[in-house]
Chain A
Amino acid sequence: MEVIRMDKKGTNIIWDNAVYLILAILFFSMALYFLRNHLFQASFYENYYSKEISKVVDLAKPGDEIILDVQKATEIAQKQDLGSYSEIFQFDNINNEICVKLSTGRKKCYVYFNDVDVMNVELKLADPINVLYFNVIENSGGDITN
Chain B
Amino acid sequence: MKLSILKEKIWMMFKMDVEKIIENFDDCVTKKSKFSNRTICKKRNIIKQIVHYGRKGQIGNMTMIIVFVFLLGVIGTGIYFGTWMFFSSDYDFREIDAKILNKNIRLCIKNQEINWSNSDKEALSSEFLKKCRINSNVTDNLFFIQIKNGDVEILNLGRGDGVQCGLLEKNTKYMRCFNSTIHESYGNEEFLFFIQTGSNQNYREKIT
Contact A106 B62 (CB under 8 A): no
A31-B75, A106-B205 known; 6 other A-B pairs, CB under 8 Å? A35-B83, A51-B93, A55-B97, A110-B204, A111-B142, A113-B139
Closest 8 CB pairs of A and B: A115-B135, A51-B93, A115-B133, A108-B203, A113-B138, A27-B72, A109-B204, A58-B100
Q: Assuming A24-B72, A34-B83, A58-B100, is B62 touching A110 (CB within 8 A)?
A: no
Total residues of chain B contacting the partner, CB 8 A: 37
A107's contact among B68, B104, B205, by CB below 8 Å, is which?
Answer: B205
Is B65 an interface position by the 8 A CB rule? yes
Residue from A59, A95, A111 having most chain B Cβ neighbours under 10 A: A111
Binding site for B on A (CB under 8 A): 12, 16, 19-20, 23-24, 27, 30-31, 34-35, 38, 41, 44, 46-48, 50-51, 54-55, 58-59, 95-96, 99, 101, 104-116, 139
Q: Which chain A residue has the least Cβ–Cβ distance from B96?
A: A55
Q: Which of B97-140 contact A (CB under 8 A)?
A: 97, 100-101, 104, 129, 133-135, 137-139
| Chain A residues, CB < 8 A from B75 | 27, 31
Which residue of A is nearest B136, CB measured?
A115
Contacts of A111 in B (CB 8 A): 138, 142, 201
- Interface: B16 (CB within 8 A): no
What's the least CB distance linking A120 to chain B, in Å?
20
Residues of chain A with a CB closer than 8 A to B35's CB: none
Is the beta-carbon distance between B203 and A35 smaller than 8 angstroms?
no
Complex CA gap A107/B203 in Å reads 10
Which residue of chain A is the closest to B129 with respect to CB atoms? A115
Q: A55-B96, A105-B208 are in contact. Are A113 and B203 (CB under 8 A)?
A: no
Residues of chain A contacted by B203 (CB below 8 angstroms):
46-47, 50-51, 108-110
In the complex, the answer to whether A41 meets B87 with C-beta atoms within 8 Å is yes
Please, what's the 1-or-0 string for B48-78, where 1 marks a CB less than 8 Å from any CB in chain A?
0000000000100110010011001001100
A106 to chain B, nearest CB (A): 6
**CB under 8 Å from chain A, chain B span 184-208:** 201, 203-208
Given contacts A23-B68, A113-B143, contact A16 B62 (CB under 8 A): yes
In the complex the two chains form, what is the Cα distance from A41 to B96 in whole Å?
23
Assembled-state Cα–Cα distance A55/B92 (Å) = 13
**CB atoms of A115 and B80 under 8 A apart:** no
Name A110's closest neighbour in chain B (CB-CB): B203
B90 within 8 A of A: yes
